[in-house]
């Protein structure tokens, strides 16, 4: 089934049914202006949605129930019923059921995305402990999507209006991080990052900063050898086809606000990149899986069990994930159109140069 040209169809997963995911969905799409930008399809069941809708008394959330994609309404939220049974919902509790139905939603939505029944996917937060099983042996969304799309490699890329941070390693214990920092891994992530900045974010000639692994970026080999033996050689190799700089000491880099000088930053491990990102993104950060043939975004926070079911969740990051998903879909389409017809992109530049030359001539 090919998707007709229209506002994008965005699949939405519920995440852990005991977390804040469904509350975020209800709050986000209670603002009907969002429906002017996309057609949301939530992979859940009516019963689960209604449980939370009753608790959010000030919502203006309406939906239609569907079981196949031929009945999609482009005027309201669509609940794609991917299960029918009663679900024991206990907001704020880490339960086996919460993880089981988070996975059901994710698998159904990912299949639809892979089958090109959707333009993009926005995932609500899951908990890594209760989603684990013999059938779902993944540490999060990113490795699952990599497996589902049979991608050679993907990049966890945190994005906000003011800057972007990608990770060489994701959910890896600190004691094991160094063994995953290889020349090949860094070059692979840099290539994905460069391509994503060009195709997904419309940045023609991106500048990328790379952080060191050790304190003070190794101090020329005095504090660890990874910078001298691995990271610097990887950067040197990457310079052949991109603008990449570093390695920079992570603490000084962000303290001096140097991220503003670059289009993206590649961090070596999770907390090195995400602590400054979440501190500076001001609650509107988005987690994007770069390197996939499809578009997937997510809010930059977790299940927030401490406030689940209390109508306290802030939907800002979830809404930002929706907007980012739409923007990336549009940017990819524009990139493909420009490749088919290069003059569409070149002509405005030629015109601008001609105008500049005319101005200079007149001023002369």
Report pLDDT digits (tens) over 304-316. 999 999 999 999 9
| 297 burial via Cβ count (<10 Å: 0-12, 13-18, 19+) | buried
Distance CA 292, CA 151 (A): 7
Structural domain of residue 59, as residue ranges? 1-151+292-364
* Element (DSSP H or E) covering residue 110: helix 96-114
- pLDDT tier for residue 4 given thresholds of 50, 70 and 90: very low
Closest C-alpha among 129, 97, 135, 122 to residue 43: 122
Residues 338 and 263 in one domain: no
Residues 3 and 137 in one domain: yes
What does DSSP assign to residue 230?
I
Give the HSE-up count for residue 328: Cα atoms under 13 Å, Cβ half-sphere.
Answer: 31
Tokens representing 26 are: 């209800």
CATH number at residue 94: 3.40.718.10
- pLDDT tier for residue 151 given thresholds of 50, 70 and 90: very high
Classify 134 as helix, strand or coil.
coil
Residues 12 and 143 in one domain: yes
Q: Average pLDDT, whole number, for the chain? A: 91
* CB 266 within 8 Å of CB 168: yes
What percentage of the chain reaches a pLDDT higher than 90? 81
- Higher per-residue confidence, 345 vs 32: 32
Residues 8 and 69 in one domain: yes
Residues 42 and 125 in one domain: yes
Give the HSE-up count for residue 80: Cα atoms under 13 Å, Cβ half-sphere.
Answer: 28
pLDDT at 60: 87
pLDDT at 219: 83
Asked if residue 350 has pLDDT above 60, the reply is no
| Cβ atoms within 10 Å of 59's Cβ, excluding its own | 17
- pLDDT tier for residue 1 given thresholds of 50, 70 and 90: very low
Task: Check residue 247 and give left, alpha or beta (phi > 0: left; psi -120 to 50: alpha).
Answer: beta
Residues 134 and 238 in one domain: no
Residues 279 and 303 in one domain: no
Number of domains in the chain: 2
285: Cβ–Cβ under 8 A, 6 or more apart, which residues? 158, 159, 160, 277, 278, 299, 300, 317, 320
pLDDT at 348: 55
- pLDDT tier for residue 161 given thresholds of 50, 70 and 90: confident
**Domain end (from 244, 262, 284):** 284
Mean pLDDT of 162-167: 93
| Cβ atoms within 10 Å of 228's Cβ, excluding its own | 15
pLDDT at 284: 82
Residues 200 and 70 in one domain: no
Instruction: Name which of 13-22, 221-230, 232-241 the model is least confident about.
Output: 221-230
pLDDT at 357: 57
Task: Check residue 181 and give left, alpha or beta (phi > 0: left; psi -120 to 50: alpha).
Answer: beta
pLDDT at 351: 53
137: Cβ–Cβ under 8 A, 6 or more apart, which residues? none
- The predicted-structure confidence for 221-234, as pLDDT tens digits, reads as follows 888 899 999 999 99
* Element (DSSP H or E) covering residue 287: strand 286-290
Distance CA 195, CA 203 (A): 9
Distance CA 296, CA 120 (A): 6
pLDDT at 2: 38
pLDDT at 3: 46
Residues 57 and 170 in one domain: no
Strand order, beta sheet including 77-81: 63-66, 77-81, 39-44, 9-13, 120-123, 295-299, 286-290, 155-159, 164-167, 264-267, 207-211, 243-248
Mean pLDDT of 197-201: 97
Distance CA 53, CA 60 (A): 9
Residues 165 and 261 in one domain: yes
Instruction: State the residue for tokens 């994007």.
Output: 288
- The predicted-structure confidence for 80-90, as pLDDT tens digits, reads as follows 999 999 999 99
Mean pLDDT of 242-264: 95
- The CA radius of gyration of the chain, in Å to the nearest whole number, is 22
Residues 145 and 2 in one domain: yes
Instruction: Name which of 152-156, 215-219, 288-292 the model is least confident about.
Output: 215-219
Mean pLDDT of 13-24: 96
Asked if residue 115 has pLDDT above 70, the reply is yes
Residue 299 sits at φ, ψ, to 5 deg, of -65, 160
Residues 362 and 230 in one domain: no
**Domain end (from 236, 254, 284):** 284
């Amino acid at each position: 089934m090919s998707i007709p040209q229209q506002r994008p169809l965005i699949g939405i997963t519920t995440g852990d049914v005991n977390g804040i995911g469904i509350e975020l969905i209800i709050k986000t799409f209670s603002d009907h202006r969002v429906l002017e930008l996309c057609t949301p399809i939530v992979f859940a069941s009516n019963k689960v949605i209604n449980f939370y809708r009753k608790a959010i008394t000030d919502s203006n959330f309406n939906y239609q129930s569907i079981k196949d994609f031929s009945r999609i309404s482009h005027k309201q939220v669509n609940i794609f019923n991917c299960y029918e049974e009663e679900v024991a919902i206990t907001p704020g509790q880490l339960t086996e059921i919460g993880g089981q139905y988070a996975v059901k939603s994710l698998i159904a939505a990912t299949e639809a995305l892979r089958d090109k029944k959707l333009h993009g996917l926005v995932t609500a937060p899951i908990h890594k402990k209760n989603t684990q099983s013999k059938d779902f042996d993944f540490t999060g969304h990113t490795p699952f999507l990599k497996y589902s799309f049979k991608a050679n490699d993907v990049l966890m890329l945190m994005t906000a209006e003011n800057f972007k941070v990608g990770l060489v390693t994701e959910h890896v214990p600190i004691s094991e991080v160094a063994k995953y920092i290889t020349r090949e891994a860094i070059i692979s992530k840099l290539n994905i990052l460069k391509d994503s900045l060009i195709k997904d974010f419309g940045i023609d000639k991106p500048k990328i900063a790379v952080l060191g692994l050790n304190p003070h970026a190794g101090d020329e080999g005095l504090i660890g050898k990874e910078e001298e033996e691995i990271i610097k050689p990887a950067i040197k190799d990457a310079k052949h086809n991109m603008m990449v700089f570093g390695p920079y000491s992570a603490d000084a880099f962000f303290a001096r606000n140097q991220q503003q000088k670059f289009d993206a930053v590649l961090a070596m491990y999770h907390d090195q990149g995400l602590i400054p990102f979440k501190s500076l993104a001001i609650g509107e950060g988005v987690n994007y899986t770069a390197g996939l043939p499809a578009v997937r975004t997510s809010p930059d926070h977790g299940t927030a069990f401490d406030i689940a079911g209390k109508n306290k969740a802030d939907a800002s990051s979830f809404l930002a994930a929706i907007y980012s998903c739409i923007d990336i879909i549009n940017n990819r389409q524009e990139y493909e159109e420009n490749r088919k017809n290069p003059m569409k992109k070149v002509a405005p530049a030629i015109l601008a140069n001609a105008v500049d030359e005319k101005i200079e001539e007149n001023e002369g």
